Chain A
Amino acid sequence: MPNVLKVEDFTIAYHKKPVIESVSFEVPEGKLIGIIGPNGAGKSTLIKGILELVPRISGKVTIQGKSYRAMRKSVGYVPQRESVDWDFPTNALDVVMMGRYGHLGWLKRPGKAEKQKALECLEKVGMAEYANRQISQLSGGQQQRIFLARALAQEADLYFMDEPFVGVDAATEKAIIQLLMELKKNGKTVLVVHHDLSTVKEYFDWTLLLNKEIIQVGRTEEVFTPEYLQKTYGGKLAILSDSQSGLLIN
């Protein structure tokens, strides 16, 4: 199976102290990949680094054998919901259309085709009826779906999602994961920064355990083991191994 994403010797530092250090990994095409690690492990930083949103000290990213810049149009991104001010004068449809801007290019305005595409994407996340809703009037889960729809509108092959399940209710989480499964079925690769250890086995084919460096990366059943998790979370997992070990081991 070809490896869609290859990251080599990635190091990122804010204020001198490295957040992630010499991270290298490859992921195969058509998988759902969970990026797991404790707070401050550099999960968000890793995907922001890959997308060149934060400067890196060293490292190389290859997507389907080409540089990230060459492949930019085939990469989709769902930032953290809190990263923007939702009291912005615009509606849901308009935000989703922003996913088409990269394909549109300069001086071109989004037209009928873009609107149609955006509506389809809203439909896919179950938000079609909210198309004309002012975005500040949407609930947290609905805002998250809008961001997801915007990423769908990018029509990418490789997706990066920064904590898409944070602050959403169970129904929304289920809807989102179903969508991700569908993306996978269509041959897309999705990397998701994820917090909830109890759902990792259910959601992800592959798991990337990260704590400033790569602890393990590979098939979830091989990587998501108590031993590696202990290594990822250090001493902090003591509580977890007592209450949730059954979940982790079975």
Chain B
Amino acid sequence: MNMLEILRDPNTQWILLGTLLLGLSSGVIGSFAYLRKQSLLGDTLAHAALPGICIVFMLTGVKSISFFLFGAAIAGMIAVFVINVVTKYSRIKQDTALGLVLSAFFGLGIVLLTQIQQSSYGNQSGLDKFLFGQTASMVMSDVYVMMAVSLILILACTLFFKEFKLLSFDPGFAKGIGLPVLLLDYIIMLLIVGAVVIGIQAVGVVLMAALLITPAVSARYWTERLSVMVVLSGIFGMLSGVVGTLLSAAVNNLPTGPLIVLSATVWFMFSLLFAPNRGVVAKLWRRVEAKRKYELIKKLEKQGAHHYE
């Protein structure tokens, strides 16, 4: 199949739009998660979403993204609550608490998932696809939900840009000037959950964290301005979604979600190496230049000294 044929296929068009929106929203909210050093929180929320989704499915018997959003949000809030309690009342540090909660929730999710597979709900539930995602199972109504979530997410990040910025840079000062830091914390968390839930179908809970983190890290390499970074991260996420989807459509039997993540990773590696100023090559080049100049000056000084002897 050539690209044009692929693009003409209406089903692919929907999927393309979906993964594009997913990359955009996870890139945008991922920037804030990354700068707040909450990358692992995104991963935890993604894994915690699984049991939430399973329970909602068991209760309603309906496979609907809007219901899942609800379940994932509740599970995410419980996860965050547990993390807070553990770090507050024990000597356990946050990274350990995140690891504990992530694996516990994921374990529970797998147990519930297996239960669903073996029970009367049957395989047709397709919930097992939520581990690694399957874009082919996406339908038009899913894409509408993705649109709504993306819109809310981008709107929130635009409206609260200055608050999110201050919260990410200096939460102490933010609290000092009277910002409701706890509330904003929860808003950011809910936005992450939103991105996670719309991503679960396409990318799956296991790889979802990559879509939150990787475009943001890449974007950081190209700019020193937060507003530019957030936009770039959204664009990088969007492009990863598109490239991954097209690759998987062009090459049969290759899974879309992992290809999206790999596209983001390839771009990250390119950014790491070749970004101006912050990139590895630019840094090496500066060091070589500095050394060359220093040696030249030394040499000239030496010559000058000889001259006077």
Interface residues on B, range: 20 to 34
CB nearest to B176 among chain A residues: A77
> Does B12 count as interface, using CB distance less than 8 angstroms?
no
Q: Are B159 and A107 in contact (CB under 8 A)?
A: yes
A84 to B174 alpha-carbon distance, docked (Å): 12
Q: Are B162 and A88 in contact (CB under 8 A)?
A: no
Q: Are B177 and A102 in contact (CB under 8 A)?
A: yes
Residue of A51, A90, A134 near B169 (CB, 8 A) is A90
> Does A19 count as interface, using CB distance less than 8 angstroms?
no
Q: Which of B55-63, B112-120, B217-225, B244-252 lies at the binding interface?
A: B217-225
> Does B94 count as interface, using CB distance less than 8 angstroms?
no
> Given A89-B220, A90-B226, A134-B224, A84 and B178 touching (CB < 8 A)?
no
Q: Are B176 and A53 in contact (CB under 8 A)?
A: yes
Q: Are A109 and B162 in contact (CB under 8 A)?
A: yes
Q: How far is the CB of A183 from chain B (nearest CB, A)?
A: 18
Q: Are B175 and A52 in contact (CB under 8 A)?
A: yes
> Does A98 count as interface, using CB distance less than 8 angstroms?
yes
> Does B186 count as interface, using CB distance less than 8 angstroms?
no
Interface set, chain B 7-57, CB cutoff 8 A to A? 35, 37
Interface set, chain A 59-114, CB cutoff 8 A to B? 69, 72-73, 75, 77, 79, 83-85, 88-91, 95, 98, 101-102, 104, 106-107, 109-110
The contact string, 1 if C-beta is below 8 Å from chain B, for chain A 205-225, is 000000000000000000000
Q: Are A98 and B176 in contact (CB under 8 A)?
A: no
A106 to B160 alpha-carbon distance, docked (Å): 8
Hey, which chain B residues are within 8 Å of A48, CB to CB? 172
Q: Are B226 and A89 in contact (CB under 8 A)?
A: yes
Q: Are A104 and B162 in contact (CB under 8 A)?
A: yes
Q: Are A89 and B170 in contact (CB under 8 A)?
A: no
Q: Are A53 and B229 in contact (CB under 8 A)?
A: no
Hey, which chain A residues are within 8 Å of B229, CB to CB? 89
Q: How far is the CB of A137 from chain B (nearest CB, A)?
A: 9
Residue in A107, A109, A110, A154 whose Cβ sees the most chain B Cβ within 10 Å: A107
Q: Are A89 and B177 in contact (CB under 8 A)?
A: no
Q: Are A101 and B166 in contact (CB under 8 A)?
A: yes
> Does B265 count as interface, using CB distance less than 8 angstroms?
no
CB nearest to A137 among chain B residues: B224
A220 to B40 alpha-carbon distance, docked (Å): 49
> Does B87 count as interface, using CB distance less than 8 angstroms?
no
> Given A101-B162, A101-B177, A102-B177, A53 and B172 touching (CB < 8 A)?
yes
Q: Are B170 and A98 in contact (CB under 8 A)?
A: yes
> Does B173 count as interface, using CB distance less than 8 angstroms?
yes
Interface set, chain B 87-132, CB cutoff 8 A to A? none
Q: How far is the CB of B261 from chain A (nearest CB, A)?
A: 24
A101 to B176 alpha-carbon distance, docked (Å): 11
Hey, which chain B residues are within 8 Å of A75, CB to CB? 176
A72 to B178 alpha-carbon distance, docked (Å): 7
Residue of A53, A90, A107, A110 near B175 (CB, 8 A) is A53
The contact string, 1 if C-beta is below 8 Å from chain A, for chain B 144-176, is 000000000000000101110110111011011
CB nearest to A107 among chain B residues: B159
Residue of A53, A88, A95, A101 near B168 (CB, 8 A) is A88
Hey, which chain A residues are within 8 Å of B170, CB to CB? 79, 83-84, 98
> Given A90-B225, A91-B224, A84 and B169 touching (CB < 8 A)?
yes
CB nearest to A95 among chain B residues: B169
Q: Are A88 and B172 in contact (CB under 8 A)?
A: no
Q: How far is the CB of B79 from chain A (nearest CB, A)?
A: 23
Q: Are A98 and B159 in contact (CB under 8 A)?
A: no
Hey, which chain A residues are within 8 Å of B163, CB to CB? 101, 106
Hey, which chain B residues are within 8 Å of A77, CB to CB? 172-173, 176-177
A83 to B159 alpha-carbon distance, docked (Å): 26
A88 to B37 alpha-carbon distance, docked (Å): 11
Q: Are B173 and A89 in contact (CB under 8 A)?
A: no
Hey, which chain A residues are within 8 Å of B223, CB to CB? 89
A90 to B226 alpha-carbon distance, docked (Å): 6
Hey, which chain A residues are within 8 Å of B169, CB to CB? 84-85, 88, 90, 95, 98
Q: Are A79 and B225 in contact (CB under 8 A)?
A: no
Residue of A51, A90, A95, A107 near B176 (CB, 8 A) is A51
A17 to B169 alpha-carbon distance, docked (Å): 30
Give 3 closest A-B pairs by Cβ, nearest first. A102-B177, A77-B176, A134-B224
Sample (13) of A-B pairs whose CB atoms are under 8 Å apart: A72-B178, A77-B176, A77-B177, A79-B170, A79-B172, A79-B176, A83-B172, A89-B228, A90-B225, A98-B165, A98-B169, A102-B178, A110-B162
User: Which residues does B use to contact A, with CB under 8 Å?
Assistant: 35, 37, 159, 161-163, 165-166, 168-170, 172-173, 175-179, 220, 223-226, 228-229
Known: A101-B179, A107-B159. 9 other contacts (CB 8 A): A51-B176, A53-B172, A53-B176, A79-B176, A85-B169, A90-B165, A90-B226, A91-B225, A98-B170
